[in-house]
Homo-oligomer: A and B are copies of this chain.
């Protein structure tokens, strides 16, 4: 990814158009983006996609007729989450690039220093909100993975287990970015609200993802 001010526009919007191989290559490089935040959003989107897959396969199977309305409702929600989490890959890059650009603002005069500090704080808020929204969506994917795991066809039930594992890894990963950025925020009321919401979500995600994984293993 291009550093802010390098003259090359950051290809943020197109990041999910890059191939998986290229993304992995760029992820491994010393460039700051894409980084852990983008990887988290992709894992969340994979979790949502796998919940959708369980539903889409199960409709077609005999013995799943009774569960069809439930699975159709789950799939509509998981598809919305997949699209939102896919878009979040670019959101994460643009939030982080914004923060890097704020740190590079001039700080020669008092006025410049103040403007730079405000830009940093405003960017840090966005760098807290984006991963918090990612964690929130991943908690929803985990909720849906239980419904897919309970009602899905046995032939694809393992995919619900992969989906819940991906969504939990994504939530824990997004949480790390909330912790870092919230710690530098001067607006402590905002930071504390974000951290309190995150704590509640992470407690739920840890217990529920473990329960869904066990449920899937028992149905294998």
- How many residues belonging to A are interface residues under a CB distance threshold of 8 Å? 59
Which residues of chain A from 142 to 162 have any CB-CB distance to chain B below 8 Å in the complex? Answer: 156, 158-159, 161-162
- Chain B residues contacting A49 (CB-CB under 8 Å) are 24-25, 27-28, 39
Chain A contact residues: helix, strand, loop or mixed: helix
Given A173-B162, A217-B179, decide whether A29 and B43 contact each other with a Cβ distance below 8 A.
no
- A35 at interface (Cβ–Cβ under 8 A)? yes
A35 touches B176 (CB 8 A): no
- A142-B219 Cα distance, complex, nearest whole Å: 28
> Smallest CB–CB gap between A32 and chain B, Å?
8
A36 touches B159 (CB 8 A): yes
Interfacial residues of chain A within 106-154, with CB under 8 A of chain B in the complex: none
**Pairwise interchain contact A166-B173, C-beta atoms closer than 8 A:** yes
Residues of chain B with a CB closer than 8 A to A46's CB: 24, 27, 39, 42-43
8 interchain pairs, CB-CB under 8 A: A20-B20, A28-B78, A28-B79, A32-B156, A158-B179, A161-B176, A162-B173, A165-B169
